[in-house]
Amino acid sequence: MNFVFVKLYLIVAYLAKLYHSESYDCKSKDVQEMMYLIDTVFTPSTNFSNINNNQANSSLITFAVYTLTDSKNPSYYYGNTTEVNLNRSKETKFIVHGWSESGNKTWVKDMVKAYFQTNKDYNVIVVDWSYYAEITYSKSIFYVASIGKIVANFITLAQLPLEKVHVIGFSLGGQIAGHVGKNIQMLQGRKLGRITGLDAAGPLFCFKNLVDKDKRINADDAEFVDAIHSNGGVFGCLYNYGTADFRPNCGTQQSDCLVETNKRNGSFIDKFINDSYCNHYSSTTYYVQSIYDKNKFLANKCASCDNYRKHIYDTTSNSSEEYMGEYCSKHASGNYYLSTNNLND
């Protein structure tokens, strides 16, 4: 995906969003049509059947293992390693960054720090796949399945008990997390405990040309899959891909982002790109905040964003209120909405 393509893509995404600014909602049929247009008009050369084909070199995927006593000095391993020195009794958190990023990204460091601030002795493992992330998006997506397999091999070779493994992936890393889950099932015939998809990547995975379930993150990839949608329909996936799908501020436009962007000078497209990045990254910010404060993001089960705005909640089920983020209960299922506007940080 070259820059011209990114711009065209964003213009259409912007128009779709503008058109539906009143009720930009995952259920809107017009938005689906618009997304279909984006997929077919701007990506005609992408053969979705081949989306997962390239083999990544496992020696180029690094695993930085942090523990409470070594929270500043991780031990590094490479894919296909057989000698992983880990305490298997602990819960293990894998953090997978997104496209154009590395394990050194600020939000990744913030998340590692957050886990140890709680003083809980986790294994926190940062998966660095920057070798395949720092290339164009349309090339990068062809390595997603292979990297998922390398992480699944790591989990299997390290003999980690699956119920204690939680894989958290942002954006394209969210799609990788899904493939970790699929490969674990192929290797071990059982599911991972939990996957969290932080605004899992939308473009080429998740619009009307929704690729098959076996090629993108979905609710079957782990015992429990939670999704946080913060820029659905632009950089993130508009549709549900979790056991429980959380949509802060209805899932596409985060209120603080637009306020910040509007303070800036620049063309509308520059502002839209800035705003979209901010919306996309909000999923990571919310998640890190939820590690510090488990009660921060109380969400209501709701049929749609419009219902949420009208305070029409689904109160009949046991899980009608759940916390978004790290401490989300495994009983959560379905659609959840919340507003972050009245929270002070």
Ligand X SMILES: *[C@@H]1O[C@H](CO)[C@@H](O)[C@H](O)[C@H]1NC(C)=O
Report if residue 59 touches ligand X, rule: CB under 6 A.
Answer: yes
Which of 40, 118, 315, 318 is in the footprint of ligand X by CB under 6 A?
318
Site for ligand X in 73-102 (CB under 6 A): 80, 82, 87, 89-90, 102
Cβ at position 275, least distance to ligand X in Å? 8
Cβ at position 131, least distance to ligand X in Å? 8
CB 178 within 8 A of CB 195: yes
Residue with tokens 């213009």: 11
The contact mask relative to ligand X for 265-304 (x = CB under 6 A, - = no) is x--------x--xx--x-----------------------
Q: Which is nearer to ligand X, 109 or 309 (CB)?
A: 109
Report if residue 36 touches ligand X, rule: CB under 6 A.
Answer: no
Catalytic entry in 25, 39, 128, 199: 199
Cβ at position 9, least distance to ligand X in Å? 17
Q: Which amino acid is at 305?
A: C
CB 279 within 8 A of CB 230: yes
Cβ at position 85, least distance to ligand X in Å? 10
Q: Is 229 a catalytic residue?
A: no
Q: Which is nearer to ligand X, 22 or 316 (CB)?
A: 316
Q: What 8-state DSSP symbol labels residue 294?
A: T
Q: For strand 92-96 and strand 165-170, is the pairing parallel, antiparallel, or unpaired?
A: parallel
**Radius of gyration of the chain from Cα atoms?**
19
* Crossing angle for the helix pair 3-19 and 29-42, to the nearest 10 degrees: 160
Q: Tally DSSP H helices, then E strands, for the chain.
A: 10, 11
Output the six-digit token pair for 30: 């017009």
Q: Which is nearer to ligand X, 37 or 86 (CB)?
A: 86
List C-alpha distances in Å: 33 to 36, 79, 166, 198, 272. 5, 41, 35, 24, 21
Only one of the segments 167-175, 219-227, 262-270, 283-291 lies at the binding site for ligand X (rule: CB under 6 A); that segment is 262-270
Output the six-digit token pair for 338: 């919340």
On the 0-12 / 13-18 / 19+ scale of CB atoms within 10 A, 99 is buried
Q: Is 97 a catalytic residue?
A: no
List C-alpha distances in Å: 161 to 139, 169, 196, 277. 33, 19, 18, 35
Report if residue 211 touches ligand X, rule: CB under 6 A.
Answer: no
Q: Which amino acid is at 337?
A: Y
Catalytic entry in 130, 171, 282, 283: 171
Report if residue 6 touches ligand X, rule: CB under 6 A.
Answer: no
Q: Is 304 a catalytic residue?
A: no
Q: How many residues does the chain have?
A: 345
Catalytic entry in 280, 283, 290, 304: 280
Cβ at position 121, least distance to ligand X in Å? 5
Q: What residues are labeled active site?
A: 171, 199, 280
| Residues in touch with ligand X (CB under 6 A) | 47, 49-50, 57-60, 80, 82, 87, 89-90, 102, 104, 121, 128, 130, 263-265, 274, 277-278, 281, 318
